[in-house]
Amino acid sequence: MPDLDLLHISIADQMLYAFREGRLLLRLPVSTALNGVGELNGSGCTPRGLHQVRARIGAGLPLGAVLRGRRWTGEVWSPDLHDRFPGRDWILTRILWLSGLEPGRNRLGSVDTFRRYIYLHGTPDTEPMGQPLSHGCVRLRNTDMLTLFERVPAYCRVRIDEAPCPQWAA
C-alpha cells in the first residue's frame, strides 16, 4: 500500500530521499541527466522544481520488463537483448511519469515536464548509479524502482533540486 508523500531528488548527491509525514523512509541512488539540469524541451536535461507523479505505469510486470512508449514490449531485459540493441535508452520495470507543478518553470509551454516524458524508471543493472548519465529522466536500479513504485501513490509530490544532502538526510 502506498505510504510515501514526498520524494526529494538531489542532483548533487545523485540520491532520492523518500518521506512520509516529514520522516525519511528510503534513500536510493539515482542517475540523472548527463546534460545536467534544465527545463527546456529537447535539452536532454533533468528538470528542477516541484513535480507530482501524474501516472504510474507497469504494475504487475516482471522485474526488468522493457517499456517503450509507456507500453510493455513483451521483452525482459537481459545482457543478450542489450547486445542486440546497442544504444537503446532502456526504460525498465516501472515508470513514474512526472508532471511539473510550477507554471513557466516546469509546467506548460516549452518547459512542460509531462510533455517532455520525464520519468523515474528502472535501468539495466550494468548502468552505474550515482553518476549523471540519463537523457533527462531519473534512473534507478530495477529492484529499487519496484520497491519505490509500490510505495508511491499517484500525485505524490517530487522535488528535484541541485542542493547536496540536506541536514535531515545526513
Q: In sequence order, what DSSP letters do the residues of 103-115 get, joined into one string?
A: BTTTBSGGG-TTT
109 Cβ neighbours under 8 A, 6+ residues apart:
none
Can you tell me the mean pLDDT for 46-56?
A: 98
Mean pLDDT confidence for 69-91:
95
| CB-CB contact of 107 with 99 (8 Å) | yes
pLDDT > 70? residue 168: no
The DSSP bridge partners found for residue 31 are 139
Pairwise CA distance, residues 139 & 123, whole Å? 6
Structure confidence at residue 163 (pLDDT): 87
Residue 151 has phi, psi (to 5 degrees) of -105, -10
Q: Give the residue, 2 or 140, on which the prediction is more confident.
A: 140
169 pLDDT above the threshold of 60: no
Q: Which domains does the chain have, with CATH numbers?
A: 6-169 (2.40.440.10)
Please name the residue ranges forming H helices in the chain: 79-84, 142-151
What would the pLDDT profile of 86-110 be if each residue is shown by its tens digit? 889 999 999 999 999 999 999 999 9
Please tell me which residue, 88 or 169, carries the higher pLDDT value: 88
Kindly report whether the global pTM for this prediction surpasses the value 0.75: yes
